[in-house]
């Protein structure tokens, strides 16, 4: 039977499957796999959580018999691994299953793979096609790719602002700009990231908890051909406070819950060491930096988080923290919530403070990645535009 569907069609199914692993598989990449024979999908799977079977193995396991894979085409969103890690190499699983063709969206940048999986499959006599829906796969795996190539996590900035671009009134009142549906979506984001970063201005003004508070009944989940269960990630993000000159109070909610939720204080020589010791006794971890330079502080924090396996980091700080991240050119993605209000006032704060750029040409360029509506709010998701070659 000749299939009426293209390679792109089946790869899109695999990409949709892969996305269901978001928040569960990190620091591994999200990967999906579809097995096709005679133009029909006979098996499918995705990497469901860190340390579990990879997508290729899940797809083969979904068959009534592994022998059913003989002669089929496997569509995989990322080059199959060829090394022993937490699981055996997926290339061996595909070879043993006697698939005849493997279509791959993108090559794996991880040094232990990076073309090795493709070579192993070809050496085994399997036809390999690379680059089908590659750009879509690169979007999906961008956080993983950045961590592999730079050692730093993917940075997501989030803020809510009014129609006229204010994050608070002229008196500092800010709750709430966005509605309940938007705030639930923010908690979904919190539930899948590895760290949430704020500055002391936010800690003092809002006394936040910075944890994900979301009832699973509110979550709509992801459904792919009715085969992927609705799931909500349950990661407990490390709460990171950039303490340039000041420290949180021992009575702050962050410090009172430091034993329950991991909390990191990033400090400079400008803070009082005696006060810092008291906070360490409350179970807060401390990253002591030798420099008080704000941009260096951002870089050192991201290096530390990357070294400790963080793939996605959310920045919820106020205008000064966001300004520091933008100035350091360390924002990869921005989730901007636009609420149906206008505050006005020349003294009302905007989302990004600091000195700002001098010329339009100096601004970091982003491109619109997604747009969603939550009741009367709008969420705009931007990603930093790749530098032209």
Sheet with 101-104, strands from edge to edge, namely: 40-46, 32-37, 73-76, 101-104, 127-130
Report the chain (389 residues): mean pLDDT per 10 consecutive residues.
Answer: 77 96 93 95 94 93 91 96 76 93 95 89 95 96 96 96 93 89 91 94 89 58 42 83 92 92 93 86 91 90 96 91 92 96 91 88 92 95 82
57 with 94, same domain: the answer is: yes
In a domain, 174, yes or no: yes
DSSP 187-251: HHHHTT-SEEEEEHHHHHHH----S----GGG-----STT-S--------PEEEEEESS----TT
Q: Is 332 helix (H, G, I), strand (E, B) or coil?
A: coil
- pLDDT (0 to 100) of residue 251: 92
Residues 36/43, Cβ–Cβ less than 8 Å: no
Which candidate in 8, 40, 49, 56 is catalytic? 56
Binding residues for Zn(2+): 54, 81, 90
In a domain, 2, yes or no: no
- pLDDT (0 to 100) of residue 5: 80
Q: What residues does 39 pair with on adjacent strands? A: none
167 with 124, same domain: the answer is: no
Angle formed by the axes of helices 294-307 and 319-327, nearest 10°: 80
135 with 156, same domain: the answer is: no
Sheet with 263-267, strands from edge to edge, namely: 285-288, 263-267, 238-243, 195-199, 312-315, 154-161, 333-338, 377-384, 366-374
- pLDDT (0 to 100) of residue 333: 97
32 with 130, same domain: the answer is: yes
Query: Looking at 95, 117, 142, which one is the last position of a domain?
Result: 142
Q: Determine the Cα–Cα distance for residues 249 and 240; give it in Å rounded to an integer.
A: 15
Query: Looking at 142, 160, 179, which one is the last position of a domain?
Result: 142
Q: Determine the Cα–Cα distance for residues 75 and 141; give it in Å rounded to an integer.
A: 16
Q: Identify which of 5, 28, 120 has the alpha carbon closest to the alpha carbon of residue 77.
A: 28
Domain that holds residue 109: 7-142
173 with 318, same domain: the answer is: yes
Indicate yes or no: pTM above 0.85.
Answer: yes
223 with 123, same domain: the answer is: no
- pLDDT (0 to 100) of residue 85: 66
Phi, psi for residue 359 in degrees, rounded to 5:
-130, 155
**Domains identified in the chain, total number:** 2
Chain centroid to Cα 223, Å, comes to 20
CATH number of the domain that residue 110 is part of: 3.40.140.10
Binding residues: 54, 81, 90, 160, 174, 176, 190, 202, 206, 210, 213, 316, 318-324
Q: List Cα–Cα distances, 197 to 76, 125, 191, 192, 244, in angstroms.
A: 34, 49, 14, 14, 13
Query: Looking at 88, 123, 142, which one is the last position of a domain?
Result: 142
Phi, psi for residue 155 in degrees, rounded to 5:
-105, 120
Q: Are strands 263-267 and 238-243 parallel, antiparallel or unpaired?
A: parallel
Binding residues for substrate: 174, 190, 206, 210, 213, 316
Q: Determine the Cα–Cα distance for residues 379 and 381; give it in Å rounded to an integer.
A: 6
213 with 294, same domain: the answer is: yes
44 with 183, same domain: the answer is: no
- pLDDT (0 to 100) of residue 83: 72
100 with 171, same domain: the answer is: no
- pLDDT (0 to 100) of residue 172: 85
Q: How many CB atoms lie within 10 A of CB 337?
A: 21
- pLDDT (0 to 100) of residue 220: 42
Q: 178-207: buried (b, 16+ CB within 10 Å) or exposed (e) per residue?
A: bbeebbbbbbbbbbbbbbbbbbbbbbeeee
Q: Identify which of 383, 337, 370, 374 has the alpha carbon closest to the alpha carbon of residue 167.
A: 337
Q: Vertex 249, ends 212 and 319: CA angle to 5°?
A: 60
In a domain, 341, yes or no: yes
Binding residues for NADP(+): 160, 176, 202, 318-324
Q: List Cα–Cα distances, 93 to 35, 49, 55, 99, 199, in angstroms.
A: 13, 19, 11, 9, 47
Does the annotation mark 56 as catalytic? Answer: yes
130 with 160, same domain: the answer is: no
CATH number of the domain that residue 181 is part of: 3.40.430.10
């Amino acid at each position: 039977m000749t299939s009426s569907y293209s390679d792109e069609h089946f790869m899109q199914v695999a990409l949709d499957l892969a996305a269901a692993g978001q928040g569960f598989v990190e620091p591994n990449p999200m990967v999906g796999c579809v097995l096709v024979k005679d133009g029909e999908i006979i098996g499918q799977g995705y990497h469901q959580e860190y340390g579990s079977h990879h997508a290729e193995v899940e797809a083969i396991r979904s068959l009534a018999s592994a022998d059913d894979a003989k002669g089929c085409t496997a569509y995989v969103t990322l080059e199959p691994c060829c090394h022993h890690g937490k699981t055996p190499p997926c290339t061996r699983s595909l070879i043993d299953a006697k698939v005849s063709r493997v279509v791959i969206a993108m090559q794996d940048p991880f040094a232990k793979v990076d073309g090795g999986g493709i070579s192993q499959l070809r050496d085994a006599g399997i036809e390999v096609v690379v680059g089908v829906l590659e750009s879509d796969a690169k979007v999906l795996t961008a956080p993983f790719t950045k961590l592999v190539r730079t050692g730093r996590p993917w940075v997501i900035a989030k803020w809510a602002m009014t129609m006229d671009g204010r994050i608070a009134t002229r008196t500092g009142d800010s709750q709430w700009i966005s509605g309940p549906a938007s705030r639930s979506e923010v908690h979904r984001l919190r539930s899948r990231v590895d760290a949430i970063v704020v500055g002391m201005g936010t800690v003092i003004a809002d006394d936040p908890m910075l944890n994900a508070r979301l009832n699973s009944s509110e979550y709509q989940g992801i459904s792919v051909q009715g085969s992927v269960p609705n799931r909500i990630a349950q990661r407990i993000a490390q709460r990171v406070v950039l303490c340039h000159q000041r420290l949180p109070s021992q009575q702050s909610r962050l410090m009172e819950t430091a034993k329950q939720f991991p909390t990191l204080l990033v400090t400079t020589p400008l803070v009082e060491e005696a006060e810092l010791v008291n906070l360490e006794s409350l179970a807060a971890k401390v990253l002591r930096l030798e420099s008080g330079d704000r941009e260096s502080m951002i870089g050192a924090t991201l290096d530390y988080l990357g070294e400790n396996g963080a793939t996605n980091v959310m920045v919820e700080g106020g205008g000064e923290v966001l300004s520091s991240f933008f100035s350091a050119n360390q924002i990869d993605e921005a989730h901007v919530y636009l609420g149906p209000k206008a505050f006005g006032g020349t003294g009302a704060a905007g989302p990004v403070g600091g000195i700002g750029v001098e010329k339009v040409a100096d601004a970091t360029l982003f491109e619109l990645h997604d747009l969603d509506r939550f009741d009367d709010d709008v969420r705009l998701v931007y990603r930093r535009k790749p530098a032209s070659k």
